[in-house]
Amino acid sequence: MANVAPRRNFTITGEWMRALFIGQTYIDVTFLTDHLPTGDEKHVASAYAVSFGGNAVTAAFCCAKLGIVPDLLTTVADDWLGRMFQDMAVKYGISVHARKVKTSSLSFIMPKDGKRAIVRCRDDDHLHPFPTLNLTGCRALHIDGHQPDAALHYAKLCREAGILTSLDGGGLRDNTHELLAFIDVAIVAERLCEQMELSPRAMLDYLKGRGCRVGGVTMGERGLVWYDESGVVRETPALKVPPARVIDTNGAGDVFHGAYVYSYLHDQSKSWQEHFAFAQAASAHKIQHLGNEAGLPTLADIAAVREEFQKPAAGKLRAIRP
In this predicted structure, what is the pLDDT of residue 91? 97
pLDDT of residue 312: 45
pLDDT of residue 207: 98
What is the structure's pLDDT at 320? 56
Q: Are the C-beta atoms of 52 and 292 separated by less than 8 Å?
A: yes
Q: pLDDT tens, 241-277?
A: 999 999 999 999 999 999 999 999 999 999 999 999 9
Gap between the Cα atoms of 283 and 220, Å rounded: 10
What lies within 8 Å, CB to CB, of 207 at 6+ separation is 180, 186, 188, 215
- Does the reported pTM lie above 0.85? yes
CA dihedral angle for residue 166, residue 170, residue 124, residue 7, rounded to 10 degrees: -10
Query: Cα dihedral angle (291, 90, 70, 123), rounded to 10 degrees?
Result: 60
pLDDT at 113: 84
Hey, what amino acid is at 202? A
pLDDT digits (tens, 9 = 90+) for 28-71: 999 999 888 888 888 888 999 999 999 999 999 999 999 999 99
The structural domains of the chain, ordered by start, are 20-34+45-128+135-320 (3.40.1190.20)
Quick one: pLDDT at residue 36?
81
Q: How far apart are CA 295 and CA 56, in angstroms?
A: 15
Q: What is residue 3's predicted lDDT score, i.e. its pLDDT?
A: 39
Which residues of the chain, if any, have pLDDT below 70? 1-15, 311-322
